[in-house]
Structure 1
Amino acid sequence: MNPARRVAFDTIRAVHDTDAYANLLLPHEIGRAGLSPADAGLATELTYGTLRRQGTYDAIVADAAGRGVDAIDPPVLDALRLGAHQLLSTRVAPHAAVHETVELVRRAAGAKATGFANAVLRRVSERSWDEWLARVERSARSDDERLGLRHAHPVWVIRAFRRALAAEGRADELEQLLAADNASPSVTLAALPGLAEPPADAERTPFSPIGFRLGGGAPDRVVVASEGRVRVQDEGSQLAALALARAVPVRPGERWLDLCAAPGGKTAVLAAEALAGGARLEANELSPVRARLVRDSVSGIPLDVPVSEEDGRARAGRGRYDRILVDAPCTGLGALRRRPEARWRKTPADVPELTALQVELLSAAVDALAPGGIVAYVTCSPHLAETAAVVAEVRRRSGDLLEELDAREVVASVAASDIDLPAQADGSGRAQLWPHRHGTDAMSISLLRRR
C-alpha cells in the first residue's frame, strides 16, 4: 500500500473520528511515516483535496452507492471520499486509485466491505468530474445548493459570504471567493520588523511590508536559521498586527496586551514593534497548551513578554493598557483554504455562542483601555454577525466612550502598495481582507479608541 495514501487516510479518519485538525496532524503523520518529499506532497494533496470537497464527494458517493452517506460505515466512507478525489480530481491512474482505496477499506473495515467499495468506486470512475457535477446538481433545490455542490461549501457559509461581500457592494465576487477557498494557499513568511530581513532572493508580498515568499524549497530551513525571527504567517495576520502597532505613533513606556494570543504569530509581530518603540507587551491565552505556543513564538525576541493563562474576560481587568489586540475565537470561515475541514465542522448554531463571547471579550478590553488607548478587534471570519454586529453592539454599550478609527485607512497606510478596501455599507471603518482579492485569509480588522 502506498504510504502517502495511508497517511492521508489516517489523517482524514482522525479529523472525523477525534475532531483533529488536519493542518496540525498531517505534518506529524508525514514525519512519523518518513515520507519522501514527493510522497509528502501527494499525502498533502490527497488529504486537503478530499476534505475541501467532502460535501460534493458525499453527494457523488451517495449516488454511486444508491444510499445516503449516513448509511455507510465511517471508515469506509472516508476511504470512498479519498478514492473519489483521486478518480475525479487528480492524475492518479483509475486502476491504482480503485485498488489502493479497496486495500484501505480492507485494512480499516475488513474483507466484507471490499466488494461494496470496489463497486462504488467503479461507478464513480464511469463519469468525469463535470459529468458528476451536472448529475448531482440536478437534485439541488436552490441556486445556493447548486453553488454549494459546485464549490464544496455549505449553503449557510455561502449565504454568509454573500452578505459580507454585499456589505461592500461586491456580491458579484462570490464565486471568485468560493473558488479561492478551494485553491491551495502559498506559504507566506514574516521577517519580524527590526529583527530580521527577507532573504535577498525572496519575493516580497504585495501588501505586508514584512512579508515574503520563497522561490522554492521548504521554509523550515529559513525559519530555523532565524532563531524565531522569521516565521510562517499569513499576510492578513501580519497586517492585522501592524494595524494596531502603527495606528498612531508609539510613545515609549506604552503598555500593550494581546488578550487571546495563541498561536502567537500576531504576538511576535507586536513584540517586535513594541521593542522598536519602547513599549511593553503582555500576552494571555486560556489554554496552557496553546500558551506554550505563544511563549515559543516570542522566544527569539529580546523582549520580556509575560504570558498569562486566564479567561480573557477576567484578565483584561488587571491593568490599564494603551493598545489591546482582541483576536477573538471565531468560526474561522476566513481560513478555509488552510483548514479545509472547518467548513463541514462548523454550523450556524455555533455563531450565537461565539458572538456572545466576542462581545464580552471586546467589552472587557474596552474597559481596560487607558484614555486614548486603542483596541484592535480582529477575526479570521468575514461573517457579519462576528464582525460588524459585534463592534456595533460594543459601541452601543459603551455610549460616547468610544470612537472608531478608519481601519481601512490605517491598513492602507501600512501596506506596501495600493490595497482595495471598499467602504462598508454600515458606515464603519472596518477593513475586510479576502482570499480572492488580496490573497490573504478573510481577516476582519476594526480599531476602536477610548476617548
Structure 2
Amino acid sequence: MVTRGAARCNDGSGVKRDEPRIVARDVLRAVRERDAYANLVLPGLLRDRKLSGRDAAFATELAYGACRAQGLLDAVIERCAKRPIAEIDGPVLDVLRLGVYQLLRTRTGAHAAVSTSVDLVRAESGGGKAGFANAVLRRASEKTPEQWVETLSPTDPVGRLAFEFAHPKWIAQAFSDALGVRASELRDALAADDARPAVHLVARPGEITAEELAVITGGEQGKYSPYAVYLDGGDPGQLEPVRDGLAGVQDEGSQLVARALTLAPLDGPDNGRWLDLCAGPGGKAALLGGLADIDGWRLDAVEPSPHRAELVRKTTRNLPVDVHVVDGRTSGLTPGYDRVLVDAPCTGLGALRRRPEARWRRKPSDVAELVTLQRELLAAAVDLVRPGGVVLYSTCSPHLSETVGVVADAVRRFGLEQLDTRALVPGVPDVGDGPGVQLWPHRHGTDAMFLAALRRP
C-alpha cells in the first residue's frame, strides 16, 4: 500500500497540480465515460504525464483500487450524499470515489484525502460542487472501514463478504459454489481477488531460462511453472528481455495451462501437429510455439478478430506458428491434430484482480451466452483432434457452469476420456479432487484458472 499526502507539481502557471490524483481521476473518467479498461489507459497516462517512482505507484494504487472497490465506495457515497449515484455529476463522482477510497483503503490522512479531493472538484467544477464534495467526504471520514461494513453490508454471510471485499454478490456466490466443501475459504478467496497482484513474467523456451530472467530483472523464480518469474511491480514493458522478445508478461496459471497441454499423455505418437483454437492475444500460443520449436513441430493458432490475430502474429514472430483469422467453430482446418488447446472466451471471473473494473461490468446473464460458445468451441476441437489425441479445455473462471458443466456435457456427448489433469501440473498442491484442476489466487498466487484434459478414444 502506497501512502501519499498532497504530492503536487507546478505546471509553470503558478497553480500547483496534484498530478498522481489527476491521473487516477482521468483513468476513472475513461472507465466511466468510454467503458475503457483501466490497465490499458493508465500506462499511457503515466508516460504522457512523466510520472515515475512513488508518484506512479500512488496513481496506480488509486486508479486500480478505486475501480476494484467501486461497489463499496458507491454505497458509502450514496449514504453520505443522501442521493443515488445516478444523480451525482459524473466528474464529481470520479473524485468522490478517489477520496472515499483513500479514506477507507489507504493510509492517506483524512485531512489530505478530503482537501485534495475538494481541490480537484473546485478546479474543474467550481465552489458549489466543491462544497458538496467536502460534505460527502467529511461524512465518509466519520466512520472506520469496519464501521461502514457493519452499517451497510447485507446480513447474509455471502452478501456481507461480497460487500466487504468489493464484489457483486453473484460473483461471490459463484466462488463459494466452486469452492464446494471448502466454502469456508471464501473470505480468503475474495480478499486475494481484491488485492493488487504481482507481475508474472514468462521466459521464452529456447531463448532464456527463468533463472537467467530472474537475475536480469531482479525478480524471483516462480513456484510452479518452470518458465515463471515474479516481479514486485514496475512497468514490465520497459524491461530489456521483454522488449527483445525473450520474455513476456503472463500469469503463471496461464503458463501452467499451456504446459499441461504438452504433458498430456496421447494414445500413439505425437506427430507435432498442435492447435490453439482460441489464440488471441497470443500468450499461450507463444509459449506453445516455443516448446514446439524445440522439437521441430508446428502450431496452428486460430483467432477470429483481425486485430487480435495481428497481436498473435507479433507475439509469436520467429516461431513455428501459423495464424488463421477464422472462427474456431468453423475453422475449415484439416482434422488430425495431436493436441488442441481450447482456452475458451469466458466471464473472466478468475482474473478480476488484473482487470479491476471488470467485476462491475459482468452480469449473471453473460454466463449462458458464453457457455453456449464454450460448448461449440469444445465440440469443434473434438472434431479436429485425432483419435487418441488430447483436447485441453481451460477458462479463466471458476464458475461451475463454465468449467465442470461444459466438460461434463462434452464427455457425455462425445464419449471422451477425462484424464486426471492434476498429473499435468506437477508440483502444484491443493488443486481440487480432480479430474479437473482449479487454481486460485489465495492458494496459488495465480489467476483462478480451470483446466481439464480430454482424450478422444
TM-score, normalised relative to structure 1: 0.91
In 2, Cα distance between equivalents of 1:406 and 1:41:
42
In 2, Cα distance between equivalents of 1:236 and 1:292:
24
In 2, Cα distance between equivalents of 1:148 and 1:92:
24
Alignment of 1:247-266 (within 5 A): 247-248=264-265, 253-266=271-284
2:433 is aligned with 1:433: no
Q: Which runs of 5+ in 1 are unaligned?
A: none
Residues 186 and 316 (structure 1 numbering): CA distance in 2 closer, same or farther, change over 3 Å?
A: farther
Residue of 184, 191, 197 corresponding to 1:172: 184
8 Å CA contact 1:326, 1:377 repeated in 2: yes
| Equivalent AA in structure 2 for residue 246 of structure 1 | L
Residue of 191, 197, 206 corresponding to 1:185: 197
2:108 is aligned with 1:70: no
Residues 418 and 332 (structure 1 numbering): CA distance in 2 closer, same or farther, change over 3 Å?
A: closer
Q: Among all aligned residue pairs of Structure 1 and Structure 2, give the percentage whose two residues are the same amino acid.
A: 51
Q: Which residue of 2 aligns with 1:289?
A: 307
> Which SS does the other structure have where 2:224 is aligned?
coil
In 1, Cα distance between equivalents of 2:41 and 2:281:
15
Alignment of 1:436-447 (within 5 A): 436-447=442-453
- Decide which moves more: 375-384 or 103-112: 103-112
2:168 is aligned with 1:143: no
8 Å CA contact 2:201, 2:247 repeated in 1: yes
In 2, Cα distance between equivalents of 1:397 and 1:256:
23
Aligned residues: 435
Q: Which residue of 1 aligns with 2:336?
A: 320
Residues 433 and 216 (structure 1 numbering): CA distance in 2 closer, same or farther, change over 3 Å?
A: closer
2:381 is aligned with 1:375: no
Q: Which residue of 1 aligns with 2:430?
A: 420
Q: Deviations over 1:1-45 (max 9, x none)?
A: 311111111111111221111112211121122112221111110
In 1, Cα distance between equivalents of 2:86 and 2:233:
42
In 1, Cα distance between equivalents of 2:360 and 2:307:
25
Alignment of 1:395-414 (within 5 A): 395-398=411-414, 400=415, 402-412=416-426
TM-score, normalised relative to structure 2: 0.90
Q: Deviations over 1:34-59 (max 9, x none)?
A: 11222111111001111111111111
In 2, Cα distance between equivalents of 1:114 and 1:309:
52
In 1, Cα distance between equivalents of 2:73 and 2:43:
24
| Equivalent AA in structure 1 for residue 307 of structure 2 | V
Q: Deviations over 1:200-230 (max 9, x none)?
A: 6342211111112247765345454662121
8 Å CA contact 1:253, 1:278 repeated in 2: no
In 2, Cα distance between equivalents of 1:196 and 1:110:
56
In 2, Cα distance between equivalents of 1:66 and 1:5:
25
2:348 is aligned with 1:338: no
- Decide which moves more: 250-259 or 4-13: 250-259
Alignment of 1:15-164 (within 5 A): 15-106=31-122, 109-137=125-153, 140-164=154-178
Q: Which residue of 1 aligns with 2:223?
A: 206
> Which SS does the other structure have where 1:113 is aligned?
helix
2:298 is aligned with 1:298: no
Structure 1 stretches (4+) deviating beyond 6 angstroms?
Answer: none
Residues 87 and 358 (structure 1 numbering): CA distance in 2 closer, same or farther, change over 3 Å?
A: same
8 Å CA contact 1:247, 1:410 repeated in 2: yes
> Which SS does the other structure have where 2:142 is aligned?
coil
> Which SS does the other structure have where 1:213 is aligned?
strand
8 Å CA contact 2:162, 2:190 repeated in 1: no
| Equivalent AA in structure 1 for residue 121 of structure 2 | V
8 Å CA contact 2:236, 2:242 repeated in 1: no
